Structure 1
Amino acid sequence: MTNEVKLISPVDGRVYAERHYASDQTVAAALDAAGHAQRAWKRVPLAERAAYCHAAVDAMLAMREEIAPELAWQMGRPVRYGAGELRGFEERARHMIDIAPSALADIHPEPKSGFRRYIRREPLGTVFVIAPWNYPYLTAVNSIIPALMAGNAVILKHATQTLLVGERFEQAFREAGLPPGLFRNLLLDHDQAARVIGSGRVQQVNFTGSVEGGRAMEGAASGHFLGLGLELGGKDPAYVRADADLAFTVENLVDGSFFNSGQSCCGIERIYVARKLYSEFVERFAELTRTYVLGDPLDKATTLGPMVKASSADFVRAQIAQAIGHGARALIDATTFTADAIGTPYLAPQVLIDVDHSMSVMREESFGPVVGIMAVENDEQAVKLMNDSAYGLTASLWTRDLEAAEDLGDAIATGTVYMNRCDYLDPALAWTGVKHTGRGATLSRVGYETLTRPKSFHLRHEITS
Structure 2
Amino acid sequence: RVPIGVVGVLSPWIYPFLTSVNAIVPALMAGNVVVLKHSFQTPLVAERYAKAASKAGLPKGVFQILHLDHKNTAQLISDARMDGVFFTGSVQGGIAVQNSLTNKFIPCGLELGGKDPAYVMANANLEKSIEGLVDGAFFNSGQSCCGIERIYVHESIYDKFVDSFVETTKQYQLGNPLDAGTNLGPMVKTDAANYVRKQIGEALGKGAKSLVAESLFKASKKETPYLSPHVLVDVDHSMEVMTQESFGPVVGIMKVASDAEAIALMNDSQYGLTASLWTDDMDRATVLARQIETGTVFMNRCDYLDPALAWTGVKNSGKGVTLSKIGYEHVSRVKSFNFRKGD
Instruction: Look up the SS of the partner of 1:136 in the other structure.
Output: coil
Matches within 5 A, 1:35-54: none
Q: Which residue of 1 aligns with 2:339?
A: 459
Cα displacement string for residues 347-405 of structure 1 (whole angstroms, at most 9, x for unaligned residues): 00000001111111000100100000001011000000000000000000000111111
Q: Which amino acid aligns with 1:441?
A: V
Q: Which residue of 2 aligns with 1:308?
A: 188
CA distance in 2, matches of 1:460, 1:242: 64
Instruction: Look up the SS of the partner of 2:103 in the other structure.
Output: coil
Deviation at 1:299, TM superposition (A): 1.3
Instruction: Look up the SS of the partner of 2:157 in the other structure.
Output: helix
CA distance in 2, matches of 1:288, 1:275: 20
Alignment counterpart, residue 158 of structure 1, candidates 38, 42, 52: 38
Q: Which runs of 4+ in 1 moved over 2 A?
A: 458-463
CA distance in 2, matches of 1:233, 1:375: 25
CA distance in 2, matches of 1:461, 1:406: 52
CA distance in 2, matches of 1:437, 1:131: 16
Q: Which residue of 2 aligns with 1:342?
A: 222
Q: Which amino acid aligns with 2:68?
A: L
* More moved, 384-393 vs 178-187: 178-187
Deviation at 1:300, TM superposition (A): 2.2
CA distance in 1, matches of 2:116, 2:341: 54
CA distance in 1, matches of 2:300, 2:105: 41
Q: Which residue of 1 aligns with 2:18?
A: 138
- Residue 235, structure 1, aligned to residue 153, structure 2: no
Q: Which residue of 2 aligns with 1:326?
A: 206
- Residue 199, structure 1, aligned to residue 111, structure 2: no
Deviation at 1:165, TM superposition (A): 1.0
Alignment counterpart, residue 245 of structure 1, candidates 122, 125, 148: 125
Alignment counterpart, residue 246 of structure 2, candidates 366, 369, 389: 366
CA distance in 1, matches of 2:330, 2:300: 30
Identify the structure with the greater helix proportion: 1
Alignment counterpart, residue 59 of structure 2, candidates 173, 179, 184: 179
CA distance in 2, matches of 1:446, 1:154: 19
What TM-score results when the alignment is normalised by the length of structure 1? 0.73
- Residue 123, structure 1, aligned to residue 3, structure 2: yes
Cα displacement string for residues 91-142 of structure 1 (whole angstroms, at most 9, x for unaligned residues): xxxxxxxxxxxxxxxxxxxxxxxxxxxxxx0001111000011111110001
Q: Which amino acid aligns with 1:397?
A: L
Alignment counterpart, residue 275 of structure 1, candidates 128, 136, 155: 155
CA distance in 1, matches of 2:280, 2:187: 35
Q: Which amino acid aligns with 2:165?
A: F
Deviation at 1:461, TM superposition (A): 4.7
Matches within 5 A, 1:77-96: none
Q: Which amino acid aligns with 2:298?
A: Y
Deviation at 1:459, TM superposition (A): 3.1
Matches within 5 A, 1:204-223: 204-223=84-103
- Residue 189, structure 1, aligned to residue 75, structure 2: no
Larger radius of gyration: 1
CA distance in 2, matches of 1:336, 1:373: 20
CA distance in 2, matches of 1:268, 1:354: 18
Q: Which amino acid aligns with 1:327?
A: G
Given the superposition, is the C-alpha separation of residues 462 and 377 from structure 1 closer, same or farther in structure 2, using an over 3 Å criterion? Answer: farther
Deviation at 1:221, TM superposition (A): 1.0
Q: Which amino acid aligns with 1:231?
A: E
Deviation at 1:460, TM superposition (A): 3.9
Deviation at 1:462, TM superposition (A): 9.4
- Runs of 5+ unmatched residues, structure 2: none
User: How large is the Cα RMSD of the aligned pairs?
Assistant: 1.0
Cα displacement string for residues 317-357 of structure 1 (whole angstroms, at most 9, x for unaligned residues): 01111111111100111111011010000000000001111
